[in-house]
Amino acid sequence: MVLLLSITAGALFSAGIYMILRRSLVKILVGLILLGYAVNLLLFNTANLIPGRPPLIGLGQLGVPEVYADPVPQALILTAIVISFGITAFAVVLVRQTYKVLGRDDLDTMRCTDIPCEEDDIATELERAENQP
């Protein structure tokens, strides 16, 4: 089970990283969501998975049971899920707003905050690229 979860988490990580390296904003968003899932699985996996042993002291029992599933990582995941939900919601709105303001979602055309350039330059460049077969 641990191995299966590790491989799944690894696959999700690689998929997420591949996606955030794409140019399209929506794909980057998908990548961030995948990375979030990957981390949650990894957190789940950090407690040695012990099935069927809840961390409860049974009726008539005294003291902590010797073997029990660690509840802490699950509490961590719960927090992480809530946080990533909020942040994903914000990121979705940001992507939508970006498309609304800029009219495109290609990251390669969003370089005006890195190097001084005119908006018109990019517009003509885009047109030229479209006209080429």
Report residue 89 CA to chain centroid gap: 12
Report whether 53 contacts 112 (CB < 8 A): no
| Residue 31: half-sphere exposure toward Cβ, Cα within 13 Å | 15
Site string for other proteins, 42-81 (x = CB under 8 A): xx-xxx------------------------xx--x--xx-
* 35 touches 51 (CB < 8 A): no
The only residue of 15, 26, 110, 126 in contact with other proteins, by rule CB under 8 A: 110
Task: Using the minimum distance from each CB to other proteins, give the nearer residue, 54 or 99.
Answer: 99
Beta-bridge mates of residue 24? 106
- Chosen residue from 58, 60, 116, 133 binding other proteins by CB under 8 A: 116
Candidates 14, 74, 97, 124; binder of other proteins (CB under 8 A) is 97
- 96-99: list long-range contacts, CB under 8 Å, 24+ apart: 98/25, 99/25
8 binds other proteins (CB under 8 A): no
Q: Indicate the residue among 113 and 131 with the shorter CB distance to other proteins.
A: 113
Instruction: Kindly state the number of chain residues that form the binding site for other proteins, as judged by CB under 8 A.
Output: 36
Tokens linked to 7: 């491989």
Q: Which is nearer to other proteins, 118 or 133 (CB)?
A: 118
User: Would you say 75 or 129 has its CB closer to other proteins?
Assistant: 75
